[in-house]
Structure 1
Amino acid sequence: MSEHAFTDAQREGLYRAIHERRDVRSQFLPDPIAPDVLARLLRAAHHAPSVGFMQPWDFIVIDRLQTKQAVKSLYDRANADAAENYAGDRAALYRRLKLEGIVESPINLCITCDRTRGGPHVLGRNTMLDADLFSTCLAVQNLWLAARAEGIGVGWVSIVDPVELAGVLALPTHVVPLAYLCLGYVSEFLARPELETAGWRARLPLDSLLHGNQWAEPLRDEALLLALRDSTTDTPR
C-alpha cells in the first residue's frame, strides 16, 4: 500500500459518500444550511481540478423565493415538453416521477462556466474545447460528495432551457449555466437511486462496460475481473 494512502476509516468514508450519494428530489427538509457548512461545500467545489488551472466556475447562491419560482416555471414548461417524448406506460411513469425540488429546498445553487476565463489560449484546451465544461462538472461532483458527507442532499435540475435560465439569472453571454442544483437537509437518503426504484432504469453491470486496449477487445485481465466479481463496493448501501 502506498504511504500516501488514506487510513482505512478515511477511505471508507470517501467510498461511502460515492456510493450513498443520491439525486434528491422528494426528501428535502426546510431546515436552513448553516453558513459555515455551505462555505465548506463551496470550498470543496472550488478545489476541483480544471484544465489549464482556468477554474471556469462561478457559484450563484439562490435563496429568494421569487427567483426559485421563476426557475420552477421554466422547469414546468420544459418538463411538459419532455413528457411528449414518451407514450403509453412509459409516459404515465414519467408523469408520476418527481424530478426537482426547486421550491422545497432551502438553497438553490447554479454553478456556471465562464468559457472565456484564462484567455483565448488555455493550456491543455487546444484540442478539447469543451474541457472547461468538463472541469466545471468536476466542481459539481466535488460539491455533491462533500454534501453527502455533511448529510445534505443535492438534486440536479437539468430539465430547464439553458438560454431561458441564463436570462432569469442575468448571466453574461459568455457564461453558461452548467448545473442548477437544489441543496438541503433530507428526511432520508434512499437505499437506491430513485429512478432505479421507480423502474425507469437499472444500474448497468460494470463488467459489461469494460474493454481491453480497443473497443472491440474484451478485457482479459483475469485478476481484475476476479477482483470485480469479489468486490462489494459497486452495491448501493
Structure 2
Amino acid sequence: MNAPSFSPTFRAELEQLFTWRRDVRHFRTDPLPDHILQHLLETACLAPSVGLSEPWRFVKVDSPTRRHAIRENFAHSNARELAGRGGDDAQRYASLKLAGLDDAPHHIAVFCETNPAQGRGLGRGTMPQTTTWSAVMAIHTFWLAATALGIGVGWVSILDPKEANRVLGVNPDWQFLAYLCVGYPQEPASSPELERRGWEQRNPARRQWIAR
C-alpha cells in the first residue's frame, strides 16, 4: 500500500489546527450529535500506544448526580488552591474561569488502565508509565479531532483524583487522568485564554533545541 502524499495546502491547514487547538472554558449549551461524539472516540483510538496496549478508557458522564459530585469536587479543590495563594496572585487566580462544568453539554472522564493484559507488557518493563503517556496521546488526538470539527475541549485538572474515581464508579485500579468538558465554544480563539488575560506568556526558549 502506498503512503498518502500530503499537499502543501494540507500541511498549512494542519499547522492552523495546532494553532487553534485551545483549552476552552466558555461553551454553548447545545449538545453534539451522537454520531459526532462516536467519531471523536474512534479517532482518539487511532493514537499510538505502547505495545498496542490501548490503555485509555473514555467514560461519558451523563448522570446529573455524578456531574454534581464532580462540580463539588472542583469547588472544594479550587478553594484549596485559592487558599494556598496570596496577595495579587490570589486575586488574579480568583478572576479566572477555570472550568466549563456548568455550560458544557458533554462531560468525558479519561482513565488509564496502567497494567492492561493487552499488549502483553511490551515496552513497559523499564518504563511502566508509558501506558499513562499513551492514554494522554489519545486525549490529545481527541482534542485535535474535535478542533477540526469546530468543537471545543476544556481539561479540568483541579480535581481530587481519588474522589473522582469513587464518584464515577469505575474500576478502582484505573488511573484518573482527565475530566474533559466538550461542546461548541462560545468564542473560538487562536491564542490561549491565560495568555490573553495576562496570566502567563509563551517562552521562546522552549522552541530551541537543547544540545548535548
Question: Which interval holds the TM-score relative to the shorter structure?
Answer: over 0.9
2:26 pairs with 1:22: no
Supply the AA of the counterpart residue of 2:18.
Answer: I
Q: Residues 112 and 175 of structure 1 are in contact (CA less than 8 Å); yes or no, is this contact kept in structure 2?
A: yes
Aligned residue number for residue 84 of structure 1 = 83
Deviates more, 1:11-20 or 1:100-109: 11-20
2:102 pairs with 1:93: no
| 1:109-153 Cα shifts (integer Å, max 9, x gaps) | 011101121269510111111000000000000000000001000
Q: How does 1:127-206 map to 2 (within 5 A)?
A: 127-206=126-205
Q: How does 1:99-110 map to 2 (within 5 A)?
A: 99-110=98-109
Higher gyration radius (CA): 1
CA–CA separation in structure 2 for the residues paired with 1:57 and 1:106: 22
Q: Aligned residue pairs: how many?
A: 210
Deviates more, 1:6-15 or 1:78-87: 6-15
Q: Residues 51 and 120 of structure 2 are in contact (CA less than 8 Å); yes or no, is this contact kept in structure 1?
A: no
Q: Give the CA deviation at 1:201.
A: 0.8
| 1:189-221 Cα shifts (integer Å, max 9, x gaps) | 123201111111101104664212x1xxxxxxx
Consecutive unaligned residues of structure 2, counting only runs of 5 or more, are: none
Deviates more, 1:88-97 or 1:109-118: 109-118
Q: Residues 112 and 176 of structure 2 are in contact (CA less than 8 Å); yes or no, is this contact kept in structure 1?
A: yes
| 1:34-59 Cα shifts (integer Å, max 9, x gaps) | 11111111011111000010000111
Higher relative contact order (CA 8 A, sep 6+): 2
Q: Residues 155 and 181 of structure 1 are in contact (CA less than 8 Å); yes or no, is this contact kept in structure 2?
A: yes
Q: Give the CA deviation at 1:12.
A: 2.2
Supply the AA of the counterpart residue of 2:158.
Answer: I
Q: Quick one: structure 1 residues 19 and 206, their matched pair in 2 at CA, closer, same or farther if it must change by over 3 Å?
A: farther
| 1:50-78 Cα shifts (integer Å, max 9, x gaps) | 00100001111122322211101000000
Aligned residue number for residue 12 of structure 2 = 12
2:116 pairs with 1:117: yes
Aligned residue number for residue 73 of structure 1 = 72
Q: Quick one: structure 1 residues 12 and 120, their matched pair in 2 at CA, closer, same or farther if it must change by over 3 Å?
A: closer
Q: Residues 166 and 172 of structure 2 are in contact (CA less than 8 Å); yes or no, is this contact kept in structure 1?
A: no
Q: Residues 17 and 148 of structure 2 are in contact (CA less than 8 Å); yes or no, is this contact kept in structure 1?
A: yes
Identity %, equivalent residues: 38
Q: Residues 157 and 181 of structure 1 are in contact (CA less than 8 Å); yes or no, is this contact kept in structure 2?
A: yes
- In the superposition, the TM-score normalised over structure 1's length comes to 0.84
CA RMSD of aligned residues (A): 1.7
